Structure 1
Amino acid sequence: MTTCTLTRIACVAGALAAFSVGGAVAASGEHHHDASPPALTLNAGSKWPTDAPLREGMTHIRARLEQTLPAVHTGQASAVQYDALGEAVEHEVAGIVAQCKLPPDADAMLHGVIAELSQAADTLRAAQDDRRAGVIRLVTALDAYGRHFDHPGWTPVATGH
């Protein structure tokens, strides 16, 4: 198993078209991931493994989203609420990345989810954008995570649609 060494900057950089991702430190030395994460796939037909920090962080992101969804649905979500959701996502992503102990293949696959979460967080905090697009992107990323990673009890986000 390896320890992820992605930095907070790499998480935020996921919002850029060509973000860079730091490497994972392996016993034989450091390796670097491609500039863009691979498309999400299953692990030979099975979901990828998760670790406790990943499951905890994703659960927290989901909870914050679910707290905000009613206001989004009614069109009453304020800029402060969108900003807070974006900041919460960024905070949890930083924690997931800092504590990651996934095997290299699962870690590489997770980079796609992390990039989507980071881009969603940026859209949630961008005053000039339709912040609801950040919510949609966040729901999509969380649902993709659930389809591709083994997180006991995870269900698709109930959006009310």
Structure 2
Amino acid sequence: MLSRTILSVSALALAGALFAAPAAAQSAAHHDHAAHAGHDAKPQVPAQRWATDAPLQAGMRNLREATETLNHYEMGHLDDVQRDNAVEKIDAAIKDMVANCKLKPEADAALHGLLAKFIAGAGAARAGKFSKAELVPMQEALALYPQMFDDHDWGKPAH
């Protein structure tokens, strides 16, 4: 279990480092905006939704499933093993999206703002301190996703 925890923490640290790299590389004109990405500010919905790719779509579906599981956990319906499985699903989804998504820089930055909510929720759950305070931002990120990204299959039932 300790090795899984170390791997999960390492995956989140890697994801954090990968998220920081694009922000650090942005021009000075975008520096202020990038410096605040992932904070409590609500991501801006673009005038036209950004295109998605298969890794983004699959990753967001996995995040939605894991968030639903954590919702049941927060209500006391699931045990710690099921919580940990949801956290592992979040870690894997984020790792896969970071490794495989090919988005335009603006869309990538917006995605990072959404993913920060899942990283925070997973961290709290991993620490045994998951509550509505972490769940609600995750649910809000899921609600924002189809407003920000053009994912035609988002509302359709899973196969």
TM-score (norm 1): 0.69
Instruction: Give the one of 2, 6, 15 matched to 1:11.
Output: 15
- Give the direction of change, closer, same or farther, for the CA distance of 1:22–1:76 in structure 2 (3 Å limit): same
- Distance of 1:11 and 1:110 partners within structure 2: 12
Partner amino acid, structure 2, of 1:23: P
- Distance of 2:116 and 2:108 partners within structure 1: 12
Aligned to 2:118, what secondary structure does the other structure show? helix
Partner amino acid, structure 2, of 1:62: R
Partner amino acid, structure 2, of 1:149: F
- Give the direction of change, closer, same or farther, for the CA distance of 1:67–1:9 in structure 2 (3 Å limit): closer
Deviation digits for residues 53-107 of structure 1, max 9, x if unmatched? 101111122223335544544x222122222212211110111011121011111
Pairwise CA RMSD of aligned residues? 3.0
Partner amino acid, structure 2, of 1:76: H
- Distance of 1:68 and 1:39 partners within structure 2: 22
Task: Confirm or deny: 8 A CA contact 1:11 1:94 kept in the other structure.
Answer: yes
Q: Give the corresponding residue for 2:86.
A: 85
Instruction: Give the one of 20, 25, 40 matched to 1:31.
Output: 25
- Give the direction of change, closer, same or farther, for the CA distance of 1:132–1:85 in structure 2 (3 Å limit): farther
More helix by share: 2
Partner amino acid, structure 1, of 2:84: D
Matches within 5 A, 1:77-116: 77-116=78-117
Q: How many residues of Structure 1 are paired with residues of Structure 2 in the alignment?
A: 137
Partner amino acid, structure 1, of 2:154: W
Task: Confirm or deny: 8 A CA contact 1:64 1:88 kept in the other structure.
Answer: yes
- Distance of 2:112 and 2:147 partners within structure 1: 15
- Distance of 2:80 and 2:48 partners within structure 1: 40
- Distance of 1:121 and 1:70 partners within structure 2: 14
